[in-house]
């Protein structure tokens, strides 16, 4: 069997395994909850459908939704509904397809970075069976489409380095830019795409370091144009040069409310969240355009008043979200309750640390093997999607899910390299015992 046919076989198996698991999850969850309860399970779903309706025709809260979360996922939902109809099963099937493609792109990213099919296949298997991915793939949420789009952008970005061709960097910028339109968590990536080639030594496909910088920065430039373009649109429409307001509103309603409640007797996070959302006018049709400015003022006041507490709470949230349980699978499928209870308990107690150690070990092995592209790209990806966790909480494992596109490959590489070290020792010990 040729290398190409082997890769095609691996990709087909990963896609089918992922698809089977997600369709199975959907069937079990619907059998337990009924379809109406299941597709409306996540509160965010209604906001995304609201934006889709506004794009197709009109919704009174449509401008609020576009300002808060951006147009990307709404455009996808509007397209799916225009072609297939309004039944929510069709957006779910689109998301399931995105979930089935995720391990394929993990495989491709792993292979293009390491040139090792075993590592790529192991990383793809991590993604295919990831219960966080499986659960999120079955809902009308931005998590899985963002993951798959951004991951596809990273694959194109690596192909740019491996081939030296400008077109891959252009495609990477376009796809990563649209991923940020889907989920604004990606809006800072233009700056990371500027940073990454500065850290990297010159790659072999480029004539000089400047040649590499010029071509690699095309990804950052294309994405920055997309991010700034939408920000300019918001300035024209809402008099706010911002990519979206969801970030600052989340910081206010989570991190700042958390710290303020800790310093106020008789109040908790939920109370502050409800009071501030009402006062700032988050969803008020006449006041939502100024909500972000009022939220920003609250955040700055809290930082000035409780700087140390904000710092400590931020990193406490990072740790808690890294350890967070998969609430969706645990609550939606009774057949998984026992296993998920064990897995979530293990994740909180020790499994989170094992994953981090394997991730760091993988980065260390890649650096020692002088694979600087893989080390830097995967390291930056993991750090970014981990450090942003401090601003939010109470959403389970979904918040740290994007980091899986990096740690699945790093952990797989760590296991592969450790096996390469241990295998001769085990064989030697076995031969001595037999003799």
* pLDDT (tens digit per residue) in 243-252: 999 999 999 9
How far, CA to CA in Å, does 30 sit from each of 80, 87, 211, 255? 21, 15, 54, 34
Average pLDDT (51-72) is 96
In the block, which residue shows the tokens 């989340």? 250
Last residue of a domain, one of 322, 343, 360: 322
Residue 266, number of CB atoms within 10 A of its CB: 6
Instruction: Report how far residue 128's alpha carbon sits from residue 398's, in angstroms, rounded to the nearest whole number.
Output: 15
Q: Of 316, 301, 183, nearest to 246 (Cα)?
A: 183
Q: How far apart are CA 121 and CA 266, in angstroms?
A: 53
Q: What is the pLDDT of residue 428?
A: 81
CA distance 122 to 116: 10
Q: Helix, strand, coil shares of the chain as percentages rounded to 5?
A: 85, 0, 15
264-304 pLDDT tens trace: 988 999 999 999 999 999 999 999 999 999 999 999 999 99
In a domain, 93, yes or no: no
Is residue 89 a part of any domain in this protein? Answer: no
Q: What does the pLDDT average to over 8-15?
A: 96
| pLDDT at residue 171 is higher than 80 | yes
Three-state SS for 211-248 is HHHHHHHHHHHHHHHHHHHHHHHHHHHHCCCCCCCHHH
Helix, strand or coil, per DSSP, at residue 199? helix
Q: How far apart are the first and last CA of the chain?
A: 38
Is a pLDDT exceeding 90 seen at residue 427? no
pLDDT the model gives residue 423: 86
CB 201 within 8 A of CB 161: no
Q: Which residues contact 110 (CB under 8 A, 6 or more apart)?
A: 116, 119, 120, 123, 124, 408, 409, 412, 413
pLDDT 10s digits, 334-354: 999 999 999 999 999 999 999
Q: Is the pLDDT of residue 87 over 70?
A: yes
> Which stretch of 279-288, 310-319, 423-432 has the lowest confidence by average pLDDT?
423-432
Give the mean pLDDT of 220-241. Answer: 97
| 42, part of any domain | no
* The overall pTM is greater than 0.85: yes
Query: Based on the domain organization, do 237 and 251 belong to the same domain?
Result: no
Q: Are residues 214 and 274 in the same domain?
A: no
How far from 275 is each of 182, 267, 278, CA to CA, in Å? Answer: 29, 11, 5
Distance of alpha carbon 234 from alpha carbon 248, whole angstroms: 15
Between helix 143-163 and helix 166-182 the angle, nearest 10°, is 170
CA distance 247 to 225: 20
- Tokens 């099937």 found at: 93
Report the number of distinct structural domains present in the chain.
2
Residue 136: pLDDT above 80?
yes
In a domain, 91, yes or no: no
Q: E strands along 74-226, which residues? A: none
409 within domain boundaries: no
pLDDT at 5 over 90: no
Across the chain, which distance is largest between two alpha carbons, in Å?
84
Per-residue pLDDT, 431: 76
Q: Cβ(121)–Cβ(164) under 8 Å?
A: no
| Domain boundary pick from 266, 295, 322 | 322
State mean pLDDT over 98-114.
98
Q: Is residue 254 situated within a structural domain?
A: yes
- pLDDT value for 208: 96
Same structural domain, 235 and 266: no
**3-state DSSP call for residue 266?**
coil
Q: Within this chain, do residues 168 and 237 fall inside the same structural domain, yes or no?
A: yes
306 burial via Cβ count (<10 Å: 0-12, 13-18, 19+):
middle
DSSP 401: G
Cβ(257)–Cβ(263) below 8 Å: no
223 and 174 housed in the same domain: yes
Q: pLDDT for 381-410, tens place per residue?
A: 999 999 999 999 999 999 999 999 999 999
Range of the domain at 171: 153-182+188-242
What is the CA 22 to chain-centroid distance, rounded?
18
Phi, psi of 12 (to 5 degrees): -65, -45
Flag whether 422 is in a domain.
Answer: no
**Final residue in a domain of this structure, among 242, 263, 278:** 242
Same domain, 238 and 248: no
286 and 219 share a domain?
Answer: no
Q: Which DSSP string corresponds to 363-389?
A: HHHHHHTT-HHHHHHHHHHHHHHHHGG
pLDDT in tens, 199-223: 999 999 999 999 999 999 999 999 9
Supply the pLDDT for residue 434: 66
pLDDT tier for residue 183 given thresholds of 50, 70 and 90: very high
Quick check: is 293 in a domain?
yes
pLDDT at res. 376:
98
Give the mean pLDDT of the chain.
96
- Residue 426 exposed, middle or buried by CB count within 10 Å (0-12, 13-18, 19+): exposed
Q: How far is CA 100 from the centre of its chain?
A: 15
DSSP code per residue over 333-349:
-GGGHHHHHHHHHHIII
């Amino acid at each position: 069997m040729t290398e190409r046919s082997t890769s095609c076989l691996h990709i087909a198996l990963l896609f089918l395994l992922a698809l089977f698991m997600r369709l199975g999850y959907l069937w079990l969850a619907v059998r337990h909850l009924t379809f109406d309860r299941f597709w409306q399970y996540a509160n965010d779903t209604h906001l995304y459908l609201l934006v889709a309706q506004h794009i197709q025709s009109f919704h009174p809260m449509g401008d609020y939704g576009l300002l808060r979360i951006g147009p990307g996922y709404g455009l996808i939902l509007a397209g799916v509904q225009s072609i297939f109809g309004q039944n929510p099963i069709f957006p779910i099937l689109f998301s399931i397809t995105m979930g089935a493609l995720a391990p394929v792109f993990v495989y491709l990213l792993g292979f293009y970075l390491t040139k090792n099919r075993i590592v790529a296949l192991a990383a793809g298997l991590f993604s295919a069976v990831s219960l966080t991915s499986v659960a999120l793939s079955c809902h009308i949420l931005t998590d899985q489409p963002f993951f798959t789009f951004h991951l596809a952008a990273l694959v194109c970005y690596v192909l740019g380095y491996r081939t030296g061709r400008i077109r891959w960097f252009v495609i990477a910028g376009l796809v990563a830019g649209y991923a940020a339109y889907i989920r604004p968590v990606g809006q800072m990536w233009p700056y990371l795409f500027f940073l990454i080639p500065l850290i990297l030594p010159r790659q072999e496909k480029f004539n000089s370091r400047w040649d590499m910088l010029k071509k690699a920065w095309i990804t950052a430039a294309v994405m920055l144009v997309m991010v700034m373009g939408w920000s300019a649109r918001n300035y024209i429409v809402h008099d706010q040069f911002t990519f979206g307001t969801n970030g600052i509103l989340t910081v206010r309603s989570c991190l700042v409310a958390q710290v303020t409640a800790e310093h106020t007797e008789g109040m908790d996070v939920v109370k502050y969240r409800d009071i501030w959302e009402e006062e700032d006018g988050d969803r008020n049709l006449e006041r939502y355009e100024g909500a972000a400015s009022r939220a920003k003022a609250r955040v700055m006041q809290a930082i000035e008043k409780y700087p140390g507490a904000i710092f400590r709470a931020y990193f406490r949230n990072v740790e808690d979200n890294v350890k967070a349980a998969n609430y969706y699978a645990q609550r939606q499928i009774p057949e998984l309750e026992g296993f998920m209870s064990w897995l979530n308990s293990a994740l909180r107690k020790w499994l989170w640390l094992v994953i981090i150690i394997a991730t760091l070990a993988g980065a260390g092995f890649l650096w020692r093997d002088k694979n600087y592209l893989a080390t830097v790209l995967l390291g930056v990806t993991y750090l970014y999607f981990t450090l942003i966790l401090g601003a939010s909480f109470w959403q389970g494992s979904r918040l740290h899910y994007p980091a899986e596109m990096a740690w699945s490959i790093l952990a797989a590489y760590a296991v592969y390299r450790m096996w390469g070290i241990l295998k001769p020792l085990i064989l030697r010990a076995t031969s001595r015992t037999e003799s």
